[in-house]
Amino acid sequence: MSTPQSSSDHDATQQQKPGVMSLLGSIRRSLSRVLFHIKVFVLAFILACVVLYTPWSFLTLPAGDGHISSIVLLSGYIGLLALYPSHPHRSATLAGWLVVVLSVLAGLWAAALLFGGLAALFITIIRQRKLEVSRFPLLLMTASIIVALFRIDAHAIPIWFGVVFFIVVLTTGLAEFWEHLRQQKALQRQQQIAARQQAEEQCRQDEAQAEFTEYYEQLAQIKRYKSGMENEIQELISLIEEKTQAIIDCMQADARDVTPGKLFLNRYLPMIVKALGSCASLEGQNANSAQFEEVRSLTYQGMQEMSVAFGEMHQRLLDNDIDDLLVDLKVMNQLIRSQGFGAKDD
């Protein structure tokens, strides 16, 4: 048997679980990002060694120069981070790698990844139309490294590379920008269509509700009068209320039931309201004559007959719906068989 103390401890444990899971998720994401930085740094170190120990790059200074080695290593590291941010865009990454290839063709081996990352950064900024705070340090470091590389050899970058670089960045960035605008406009159109459909549906519901407002008001009057009646009459009135609501539901579900349902309710509901109102008025005056007893008896008899009539009308509307459904099903089956589908008779 559990005690109140054990129950409270269990509730406290259940409340702590979401917080613990959120903390574990944050730790897992942080460790994953740290591991990503480690892998990027190792890859940048390997690429820096390749660049520094080969004559392919425009950096022809001795590989033992610690300043140059640090710049090349940092160039590869920053470039890879810019190419693969936490939320990358596929087009920006592809355009960045295209710039990397063009940098290699231009002889800029040491700064190839850096130029590719810079292109990806520019494209992302154009696409988002803003510079995120998290990207500003990366952009600043990229610009600083490029300035440092220019100091080493200011004439190392071919003119054609600069022209192609800006063409790739502007073309991809503007294409991404226009695609983003197109998606936003499409989303706005969908939202407008959904809002218009919702408004139309609400309008139809309001119109349907207004169409049956008279019957709901009469039902409310009947409920008020019912409270002062005898138990036997109250049971019959409750049955009439139930069947009236069922008839209204049928009319709301199928427009073909509206005409017969309205004719029935318009004829009999006002009669019930008037009879119950008169009877309730006499009850309130504490009438206790033999004539009033006859009124009670006739009221009970009338409500009994009305409950039967309302039940039969509801069943008639249901039968009409069933007949319509049977006709639709038969037509569907005949259509299927006429097309050669369905079960084959042996």
Range of the domain at 280: 214-338
Q: What is the pLDDT of residues 196-239, one digit of tens each?
A: 888 887 777 677 667 788 888 888 888 888 887 888 888 988 99
- 127 and 266, same domain (yes or no): no
- C-beta contacts of 93-100 below 8 A and 24+ residues apart: 93/120, 95/119, 95/120, 95/123, 95/168, 95/169, 95/172, 96/120, 96/123, 98/168, 99/165, 99/168, 99/169
- 182 and 62, same domain (yes or no): yes
The answer to whether residue 16 is domain-embedded is no
- 227 and 160, same domain (yes or no): no
- 261 and 175, same domain (yes or no): no
- 52 and 176, same domain (yes or no): yes
The answer to whether residue 144 is domain-embedded is yes
Which pLDDT belongs to residue 15? 55
- 43 and 146, same domain (yes or no): yes
The answer to whether residue 208 is domain-embedded is no
CA–CA dist 71, 43 (Å, integer): 15
The answer to whether residue 343 is domain-embedded is no
Question: Residue 1: helix, strand or coil by DSSP?
Answer: coil
The average pLDDT across 308-315 equals 89
User: What is the number of domains present in the chain?
Assistant: 2
pLDDT band, residue 154 (cuts 50/70/90):
low
What are the E-state strand segments in the chain? Answer: none
- 179 and 222, same domain (yes or no): no
- 83 and 125, same domain (yes or no): yes
The average pLDDT across 254-273 equals 87
- 174 and 219, same domain (yes or no): no
- Full-model pTM: 0.43
More confident residue, 199 or 149: 199
What's the Cα-to-Cα distance from 179 to each of 10, 70, 89, 125, 128, rounded to whole Å? 52, 39, 13, 14, 11
- 240 and 183, same domain (yes or no): no
The answer to whether residue 193 is domain-embedded is no
215 within 8 A of 250, measured Cβ to Cβ: no
Enter the tokens of residue 31. 């460790």
Q: What is the pLDDT of residues 53-74, one digit of tens each?
A: 665 554 444 444 455 666 677 7
The answer to whether residue 203 is domain-embedded is no
- Whose tokens are 């504490």? That residue is 286
pLDDT band, residue 242 (cuts 50/70/90):
very high
The answer to whether residue 248 is domain-embedded is yes
Window from 9-18, 78-87, 293-302, 333-342 with minimum mean pLDDT: 9-18
CB proximity list for 131: less than 8 A, separation 6 or greater: 125, 139
